[in-house]
């Protein structure tokens, strides 16, 4: 096949006129939109914007559709209520995608987001995006834990000023900003040795620590502390573990292999050139659902044929990764 013929086939796929199944079509459009070829990029972007709704809904029926593809569809077509609802029902949807929908949605989609209590309890950013959505009514806000401002008499401030301040205070996540101004004071310094003498285990100590103390311990603590703090749901805490100068490659690999590791942890691993040079970490990142698809596809080029074969029979990878693994095996067998 000549280069021109290959380009013509890709261009036909970007136009959506090849006989592809819906999941394969949106995967191809995703790849073209992130390619360096301007013609393919522009054509695929136009196709996705105008793709019939039934094809998008059919694509979402594939449970292992990559989270990056789900996110792209939502950002391009998320104002379509049916598309947004289908995305909400997809198990690969990211918190960042939910936050985008929380900022943009209304009506039934907004109601469905408010009902996702597990998600907004885990993510303060999602909860506050829902609260600040102009279409959220009082009942929704109260369900999300919003506290109505109370105007208190103040001779030096008007009722309007007090209400404005209280609304801002009520809408501020308690852990988004960590006050570390007193961390260096001698009286406030956290001494593990002193507390251990009181007969408390590290796990028990953890329950008594403030967010600032947990972050400090994540940055400086030993392996046992790191293994506890990496499990914290607060991203300020668990990401601080990866910034600990004593962290080992084996610990980083464990984070990369853990499919529940959040996007920020994976991002920090990807930013460290020494870590991503290691074969086992590359291999773990290929299969991780939070690894950006284009990077996962790039890392696959470094994997052995044995590991590519394992991906082909794996049930824990996206369709895009699986398809690429099959293509690589077919190419290598020639």
Structure tokens at 152: 């208190």
> What b/e readout covers 40-60, taking b as 16+ CB neighbours within 10 angstroms?
beebbbebbeebeeeebbbbb
Is the pLDDT higher at 160 or at 3?
3
* pLDDT surpasses 70 at 190: no
Is the pLDDT higher at 228 or at 170?
228
* pLDDT surpasses 60 at 155: no
Q: What is the mean pLDDT of the chain?
A: 82
User: What is the model's pLDDT at position 176?
Assistant: 36
d(CA 110, CA 88): 11
Dihedral sign, CA of 53, 292, 176, 230?
positive
* pLDDT surpasses 60 at 74: yes
Question: pTM (2 decimals)?
Answer: 0.47
Q: What is the pLDDT of residues 89-101, one digit of tens each?
A: 998 899 999 999 9
Q: What is the pLDDT of residues 241-296, one digit of tens each?
A: 999 999 999 999 999 999 889 999 999 999 999 999 999 999 999 999 999 999 99
User: What is the model's pLDDT at position 192?
Assistant: 39
Q: How wide is the angle at C-alpha 255 spanned by C-alphas 247 and 210, nearest 5°? A: 70
Structure tokens at 29: 């459009």
Cα-Cα end-to-end distance for the chain: 15
User: What is the model's pLDDT at position 2?
Assistant: 60
Give the residue-averaged pLDDT of 14-31: 90
User: What is the model's pLDDT at position 138?
Assistant: 85
Give the residue-averaged pLDDT of 41-60: 94
With bands split at pLDDT 50, 70 and 90, how would you rate the model's confidence at 1? Answer: low
User: What is the model's pLDDT at position 3?
Assistant: 66
Structural contact between residues 114 and 143, judged by C-beta atoms closer than 8 angstroms: yes
């Amino acid at each position: 096949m000549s280069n021109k013929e290959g380009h013509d086939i890709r261009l036909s796929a970007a136009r959506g006129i090849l006989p592809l199944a819906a999941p394969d079509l949106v995967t191809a459009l995703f790849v073209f939109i992130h390619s360096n070829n301007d013609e393919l990029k522009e054509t695929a972007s136009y196709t996705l914007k105008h793709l019939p709704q039934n094809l998008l809904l059919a694509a979402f029926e594939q449970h292992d559709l990559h989270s990056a593809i789900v996110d792209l569809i939502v950002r391009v077509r998320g104002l379509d209520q049916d598309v947004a609802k289908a995305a909400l029902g997809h198990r690969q949807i990211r918190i960042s995608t939910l936050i985008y929908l929380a900022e943009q949605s209304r009506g039934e989609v907004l109601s469905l987001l408010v009902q996702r209590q597990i998600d907004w309890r885990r993510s303060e950013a999602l909860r506050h995006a829902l609260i600040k959505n102009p279409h959220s009514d009082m009942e929704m806000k109260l369900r999300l834990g919003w506290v109505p401002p109370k105007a208190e008499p103040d001779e030096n401030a008007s009722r309007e000023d007090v209400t404005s301040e209280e609304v801002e205070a009520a809408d501020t996540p308690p852990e988004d900003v960590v006050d570390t101004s007193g961390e260096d004071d001698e009286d406030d310094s956290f001494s593990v040795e002193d507390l251990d003498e009181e007969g408390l285990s590290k796990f028990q100590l953890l329950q008594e620590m403030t967010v600032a103390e947990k972050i400090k311990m994540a940055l400086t603590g030993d392996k046992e502390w790191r293994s506890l703090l990496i499990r914290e749901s607060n991203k300020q805490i668990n990401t601080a573990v990866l910034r600990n100068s004593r962290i080992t490659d084996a610990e980083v690999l464990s984070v990369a292999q853990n499919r529940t590791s959040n996007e920020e942890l994976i991002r920090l691993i990807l930013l460290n050139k020494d870590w991503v040079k290691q074969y086992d970490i590359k291999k773990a990142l290929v299969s991780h659902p939070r690894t950006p698809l284009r990077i996962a596809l790039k890392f696959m080029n470094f994997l052995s044929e044995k590991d590519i074969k394992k991906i082909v029979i794996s049930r824990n990878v996206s369709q895009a990764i699986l398809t690429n693994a099959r293509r690589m095996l077919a190419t290598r067998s020639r």
